[in-house]
Structure 1
Amino acid sequence: MRPLVVIGFLGSTLDASKFGPSRWNKWRPSVGLAMHDDLRVDRFVMLHGSQHVRLAEYIAEDIAAVSPETTVDRRLLSFDNPWDFEEVYGKLLDFARAEPFDPDSEDYLIHITTGTHVAQICLFLLTEARYLPGRLLQTQPKRGMPTGAPGSWNVIDLDLSRYDSIATRFAAASAESTSFLKSGIDTRNAGFNRMIDEIEQVAIRSRAPILLMGPTGAGKSQLARRIYELKRLKHHVKGPFVEVNCATLKGDGAMSALFGHRRGAFTGAAADRPGLLRTADTGTLFLDEIGELGLDEQAMILRAIEDKRFLPVGADKEVGSDFQLIAGTNRDLAQAVAEGRFRDDLFARLNLWTFTLPGLAERREDIAPNLDYELDRHAERDGMRVTFNREARDRYLAFACGAEARWPGNFRDLAASVTRMATFSPKGRIDLDCVDAEVARLGRLWSSGTQSTDDLDRLLTPDQIAALDPFDRVQLAHVVETCSRSRSLSEAGRTLFAASRSRRTSANDADRLRKYLARFDLSWQQITER
């Protein structure tokens, strides 16, 4: 048998008693845990507040008296307000993240009999979402038995699939971080860490434009948003974060999207439009892929940066907007200037604070912490904690950090890879078979010279694919693949929604699938036409 670890709160009321022999005449749940012949507790992690230290010592002594083989691991966990859901959940989440759980070597039971109702609810949610990798344990006094008897116990093995929405609603994960700009990721690459330290100083002390360079998928968009959030935290900005990929701004619509227009300025201009620059007033404007802008738009951007004023399309009067610009590009802007495709005066204005983000292949020592970060993101997004078993994690990292892993899509490739493995691990544990299948999949993907092994390139435009989050892309690719091998829309729907059919009073899987495809402007006919 594997060692059994029980985690639970000290019951400040239920476990309390007079300090004398009469205490053995009372049912005390924490002591009773160690008195069952059919429940061997090897370690009891007892959570308690600073005001209950003496009671915790007394209960630990009584547990040692009735069960010498049980180790009591006392943990101080105090709450300013034990009925404040946000505080209790946050501190328990921090506890869960810091605890070195080893589900491959130990079994865990989460005791929910003691503690406030808020604490019990939080323990339920954290267990359901797999932050606490165990089952729930409920104890109670047994009717008709002596009052000092151990009582009865029951293990509650949750059907996790039914409660995902609850976990998603309440699980607001806030990763501890050594640097706000690194999103809580404990990065190890010395060069990257030095660059982040510089960016942090610039973000706090300067309002000049910032230029983020680096390959696609290196994290420019995420870093830009973190810079904005840091400035907002320091009360340096109060307006919104406005982001646009300049590659999506084409033709006459680019001027209107950026600078706005007046009603009647051109055919179809039925109302005034403020434009992205006006929307970003007192905030931050992130122009990703700024190298894709036309020369006319570049000239107006330069004027807006320097004078805080510009002319909307069709207007005869300038408007003002005071924003900080962050620009991103995967192009060599100096070369673009030499070729006449980018204005030298705008490049000079942007080049005050220029930072080049390395690709994932140049930061292989950061793959392990980023792997954990992507698993955290999956848990936050889906309310389901998925982890590797030890051998699977070692196997994946050996591949990911090795020379054969090229990572052409950088962190987008890693995010998509984690999403696939998590999706194909419904029990919450990524095993060796899952890793081997993913390694083979990545090998095929990279050897084919494309970042797609699915059928989406045939069905969606490059801009539509670029707008998909890795999670949505993996899910949509699976749906498209299922449709392609099904004989009808109804058959595909039955396959895709098989698990939830039993929980619905009526099932129209075809209509449900049709509506899902419509979100991406797709239809059954488009997918099945070859």
Structure 2
Amino acid sequence: MAKTRVRETVVFGVLGTNLDAGRGPRRWDKWRPSVGLCQQEDLLVHRFELLHPPGQEELARTVEQDIRQVSPETQVRLTAVGIRNPWDLEETYGALLDYARTYPFQPEQEDYLVHITTGTHITQISLFLLVESRHIPARLVQTSPPAPGRDHGGPGTHTLIDLDLSKYDTLARRFQQEQREGLSFLKAGIDTRNAAFNRLIERIEQVATSSRAPLLLMGPTGAGKSQLARRIYQLKKARRHVSGPFMDVNCATLRGDGAMSALFGHVKGAFTGAVADRPGLLRQANAGVLFLDEIGELGADEQAMLLRALEDKRFLPVGSDKEVESDFQLLAGTNRDLLAEVERGRFREDLLARINLWTFRLPALRERPEDILPNLLFEMDQASQALGTRVTMNKEAQAHFLRFATSAEARWSGNFRDLNAAVLRMATLAPGGRITREGVDEELERLRATWLPTPPTSRPAAEELVTRVLGEEKAQALDRFDRAQLEEVLAVCREARSLSDAGRLLFACSREQKKSVNDADRLRKYLARFGLDWTGVRD
């Protein structure tokens, strides 16, 4: 019967120029990792591939002799690796990769271990990467010195680290769970259904947790920019990406000399009434987050100072000749088209370039009809906390409210502020906190009165719109039926905030009969019949 060949164990290790060093008999009083690894009772090393830098041949030969003394079964092979600077990642990884590519591995016959206790941290990282990428088909082995009170020159202990790729699934699941928790947190726990909004929040979570660059949040008033900014900060704080506070201000409230002082601070006596030093919001936000809502309202001087503070982390308080420092992350919000403001000369182009690295537009409530129900339920929970009683809405009342809320009649000009106010009013007036159909009807009348329709005199006549958009010749060539239809479409487009918004208004009835709808695409194709697009219609 043929004997089964025993698989041999081969160790790759880097000479520790400090840990493995030692001369004379006293060296045996010291724990040396490379020697100690070959002294392990439950690990037989058949071959030790000891890599060493140029100029360390003498130490390498000493370690070789000592390994042979403690483990005669171990063959030690010394190899000089041309690493001049072991703290240079590119040089170190490149040299070890070249060695691994030329080594005659025989994984069918040998088991390989990589010793990562010795060498610089850069060397250890490089070895880890080579094992993880399977350039070296090995497991990692880590050695530790003897416990305190034991023989200082003893072998110590060793631990095998198996980079089993199946274990990555667990790590990936933990990461995905953390990401899901982050997304839910940014959405205030609301189970939103709008696919575009969910993708937007996912991207914001990804950027917010990996970057300290400025974030620009755009969108109409009431779309939730302020609440999202605070949640971004809370998420970064929870994950220890920032340690400082959250400071915020609506720039529309900053006027005159007070704007400079509020943002950049002042020194005592800087102006009349400056009876004490004031740190300013930028200094208070050091190591934290500063949210400047409605940043488009800042004056020219404040914009210039803010740009300097973002680029240099330094600025001058009002009345001071000594600069101060503050390292903060900027979140900015606006409901304005800042590019148009630049073209009008109202906003600095260089400041916009600095804060426009990550820009996210929050959609209006009307652009997310499928999210009205989960937000309605959220607002009822909020009303329950505010009123100290459980607020509910019966099935008939909820269906009635949702029909109106998702219809073309619902303007939601204040977005989520309108929804919040509507729910709070209904909850406050509801007997026992139970909102009925009658309570909904009362609120809908209030909303209709609040959202007054655009006066007919505030927009051009429909016929004039067709001529203006198409030109006199093309307009005259239309059939009366097509012209009448196009007149209404153009009138709606002029009032709508977006292509999607206009599509929902125009196709409000037919869309309910379809399982899958794309109002924006449907309107885009209709306009294309006349050689028009959304930008041309709006301009």
**What is the TM-score when the length of structure 1 is the normalising length?**
0.51
- Structure 2 counterpart of 1:414, one-letter code: L
Aligned partner of 1:311 in structure 2 is 316
Shift of the 214–240 alpha-carbon distance from structure 1 to 2, 3 Å rule, reads same
Distance 1:313 1:178, change over 3 A: closer
Among candidates 230, 234, 240, match of residue 235 of structure 1: 240
Distance 1:265 1:339, change over 3 A: same
User: Are the counterparts in 1 of residues 397 and 437 from structure 2 also a CA contact under 8 Å?
Assistant: yes
Alpha-carbon distance in structure 1 between the residues aligned to 2:285 and 2:182: 28
Matched-pair contact (CA < 8 Å) for 1:256–1:313: yes
Aligned mates of 1:343, 1:332 — CA distance in 2: 13
Kept in 1, the 8 Å contact 2:183–2:202? The answer is no
Following the alignment from structure 1 to structure 2, what is the Cα–Cα distance between the partners of residues 177 and 307?
31
Is 1:324 the counterpart of 2:329? The answer is yes
Give the Cα–Cα distance (whole angstroms) in 2 for the partners of residues 426 and 275 of structure 1: 48
User: Alpha-carbon deviation of 1:381?
Assistant: 2.5
For residue 255 of structure 2, what is the amino acid of its counterpart?
K
Shift of 1:346: 0.4
Contact 1:214 1:359 in 2 (8 A): yes
Matched residue, 1:190: 195
Mapped to 1, the partners of 2:204 and 2:454 lie a distance apart of 34
Matches for 1:146-165 after TM superposition, within 5 Å: none
Report the Cα distance in structure 1 between the residues aligned to 2:299 and 2:366, rounded to whole angstroms: 32
How far 1:426 moved relative to its partner? 3.5
Q: Are 1:275 and 2:280 an aligned pair?
A: yes
Which of the numbers 250, 261, 264 marks the counterpart of 1:259? 264
Distance 1:440 1:177, change over 3 A: farther
Which residue, 343, 354, 361 being the options, matches 2:366? 361
Aligned to 1:518: none
Q: For 1:162-219, what per-residue CA distance to the aligned partner results, in whole angstroms no more than 9, with x for missing partners? A: xxxxxxxxxxxxxx98621101001111111101000000001000000000000000
CA offsets 1:426-470 (integer angstroms, 9 cap, x no match): 3110001000011111111102669xxxxxxxxxxxxxxxxxxxx
Aligned to 2:350: 345
In the superposition, relative to structure 1, how do residues 178 and 323 fare at CA in structure 2: closer, same or farther (>3 Å)? Answer: closer
Equivalent pair of 1:177/1:186 in contact (CA under 8 Å): no
Residue of structure 2 equivalent to 1:297: 302
Shift of the 227–406 alpha-carbon distance from structure 1 to 2, 3 Å rule, reads same
- Structure 1 moving runs of 4+ over 6 Å: none
Q: Give the equivalent residue in structure 2 for 1:129.
A: none
Instruction: Show the counterpart of 1:396.
Output: 401
- Code of the aligned partner of 1:348: A
Q: Which amino acid aligns with 2:411?
A: R
Alignment of 1:203 with 2:208, yes or no, is: yes
The 1:324–1:446 alpha-carbon spacing in structure 2 relative to 1, beyond 3 Å, is: same
3-state SS of paired residue (2:360): strand
CA contact (8 A) 2:303 2:348 kept: yes
Q: Secondary structure at the match of 2:408?
A: coil
Correspondence list, 1:98-113, <5 A:
none
Gaps of 5+ in 1: 1-175, 451-530
Higher relative contact order (CA 8 A, sep 6+): 1
* Aligned-partner Cα distance in 2 for 1:183–1:306: 33
Query: 1-side partners of 2:297 and 2:282: how far apart?
Result: 17
| Structure 2 equivalent of residue 441 of structure 1 | 446
Match of 1:383 among 360, 384, 388: 388
Q: Matched residue of 2:209: which SS?
A: helix
Shift of 1:385: 1.3
1:421 aligns with 2:445: no
Contact 1:245/1:289, CA 8 A, preserved across alignment: yes
Q: Distance in 2 between matches of 1:249 and 1:438?
A: 35
Which of the pair has more CA radius of gyration? 2
Over 3 Å counting, the alpha-carbon distance change for 1:177 and 1:345 in structure 2 is closer
SS in 1 for 2:201: helix
For residues 283-332 of structure 1, what are the alpha-carbon distances to aligned partners after superposition, in whole Å with 9 as ceiling and x for unaligned?
A: 10000000000011001111111111110000010001111000000000
Q: 2: distance between equivalents of 1:323 and 1:432?
A: 50
In the alignment, which of 181, 186, 203 is matched to residue 186 of structure 2?
Answer: 181
What one-letter code is carried by the residue in structure 1 that aligns with 2:351?
L
AA matched with 1:278 = R
2:387/2:428 contact within 8 Å kept: no
Q: 2:236 corresponds to which letter in structure 1?
A: K
Deviation sequence 1:351-395 (CA, Å, 0-9, x none): 100000010010111000000111111122232110101100110
TM-score between both structures, scaled by the size of structure 2: 0.50
The whole-number CA distance in structure 2 between the counterparts of 1:226 and 1:325 is 14
The corresponding residue for 1:212 is 217
Q: Deviations over 1:372-428 (max 9, x none)?
A: 111111122232110101100110011101111010110000001001101101311
Distance 1:177 1:448 in 2: 40
Matched residues in 1 for 2:334 and 2:183: separation? 27
* AA at the equivalent of 1:330: N
Amino acid at match of 1:209: P
Cα distance in 2 for partners of 1:404, 1:322 equals 47
Matched with 1:76 is: none
Q: Which runs of 5+ in 2 are unaligned?
A: 1-180, 456-539
Secondary structure in structure 2 of the residue aligned to 1:427: helix
Determine the C-alpha separation between the residues in 2 that align with 1:411 and 1:328: 16
Q: 1:178 to 1:356 in 2, by over 3 A?
A: closer
Q: Secondary structure at the match of 1:267?
A: coil
Distance, in Å, in 2 between the alignment partners of 1:285 and 1:237 is 12
Aligned mates of 2:341, 2:183 — CA distance in 1: 37
Identity level (%): 69
Which residue type is aligned with residue 420 of structure 2? A
